[in-house]
Structure 1
Amino acid sequence: MSISKNKLSAAQAISEITGHLYFGDMVKSLRMCENISQAEMARSIGISRQYLCNIESGERKADVELALKFAEYLKHPKEFFISRLLEDQLYTAGLDYTITLKAS
């Protein structure tokens, strides 16, 4: 479980340095760190490359189901992706909250 804790700490560190971490930026950064193309990732999770591009650029929003697919594909804790997605939605609505989810 230390891997999960390290990944959560890294996200918190990035947020402290850069400000709010948008969900699409996070997905893009993680995808690029793994050297995965948009086409490969989109095909693997069952969406179009354009839809993934729109999510990464912030033009479209992901839903919880899609956030779970990203988490599974990128091998990150689902709580990490869900909390980032919810925080992004709240931030966009003008509410700067931090969400902490616990695995069940």
Structure 2
Amino acid sequence: MITLFGKMLRKLRIDKDVVLGEMAQSIGFSSAYLSSVENGKKKITDDLIYKVTEYFSLSNEKIEELKQAALDSPVSVKIDLSNSVDDERALVGAFARKIGDLSEDDKSDFWEILNR
């Protein structure tokens, strides 16, 4: 599944007429890695973001858009529960297992709770 970051990266490449392999070599990553990032299979690193912004000489506005896209495109989320009590670990596990089953209303309710 292509992520928002992947879409932005592909658009940058297409707009600048740059092929994946050329960009990969120029910024010091493999083509396979960049392809995996674009497709949401690999983690987006700060180093990658920096090198992409330098390679394309992005404006501050575009840099912020790219950074936000990276934040909105996690491959996975790790949560350290080592200092949590049993019921907190159970809650996180249950949420992770059921997140795909939540309705839009349920998601809205969760956001409301989290934003208090």
Give the TM interval when normalised to the shorter protein: 0.5 to 0.7
Shift of 1:92: 6.8
Q: Name the Cα RMSD after superposition.
A: 2.6
Unaligned runs of 5+ in 1: 1-20, 96-104
Matched, 1:56 2:38: yes
Structure 1 outlier segments of 4+, above 2 Å: 77-81, 91-95
Q: Which has the larger radius of gyration?
A: 2
Q: Which residue of 2 aligns with 1:74?
A: 56
Whole-angstrom distance in 2 between the partners of 1:32 and 1:58: 18
Q: How many equivalent pairs are there?
A: 75
Q: Percent of pairs identical after alignment?
A: 31
TM-score, scaled relative to structure 1: 0.60
Name stretches of at least 5 consecutive residues in structure 2 with no aligned partner: 78-98, 100-106, 108-116
What's the TM-score, normalizing by structure 2? 0.55
- 1:43-74 Cα distance to aligned partner (Å, 9 max, x none): 01100011111111122121112111111111
Tell me: higher relative CO, structure 1 or 2? Use CA pairs within 8 A at least 6 residues apart.
2
